[in-house]
Amino acid sequence: MGAPRLRRMIGTVALLLLLLLALGAWWAWTPDIPRATLEARYANGPADFITVDGMRLHVRDSGPRGAPAVILLHGFGGSVHAWDDWARGLERPYRVIRYDQPGAGLSVPDRLDQYTDERGMQVLLALMDQLGLQRASLIGHSMGGRLAWRFAADHPQRVHKLVLVAPDGFASPGFDYGKAPDVGWVTSLLRYTLPRPVLRASLKPAYADPAAFNDARVERYHALMLAPGNRDALLSRMRQLVLQPPGPVLARITAPTLLLWGQADAMIPVANAADYQRAMPQARLVVLPGVGHLPQEEAPAPSLAAVAAFLQD
Q: Give the span between the Cα atoms of 185 and 153, in whole angstroms.
A: 36
For residue 294, give the nearest of 117, 121, 145 by alpha carbon: 145
For residue 283, give the nearest of 247, 312, 254 by alpha carbon: 254
Of 172-176, 282-286, 288-292, minimum mean pLDDT range = 172-176
pLDDT (tens digit, 9 = 90+) per residue, 64-112? 999 999 999 999 999 999 999 999 999 989 999 999 999 999 999 999 9
> What is the set of domains in the chain, with CATH numbers?
35-312 (3.40.50.1820)
Single pTM value for the model:
0.90
pLDDT of the residue at 27: 52
pLDDT (tens digit, 9 = 90+) per residue, 136-191? 999 999 999 999 999 999 999 999 999 999 999 998 877 789 888 888 777 788 88
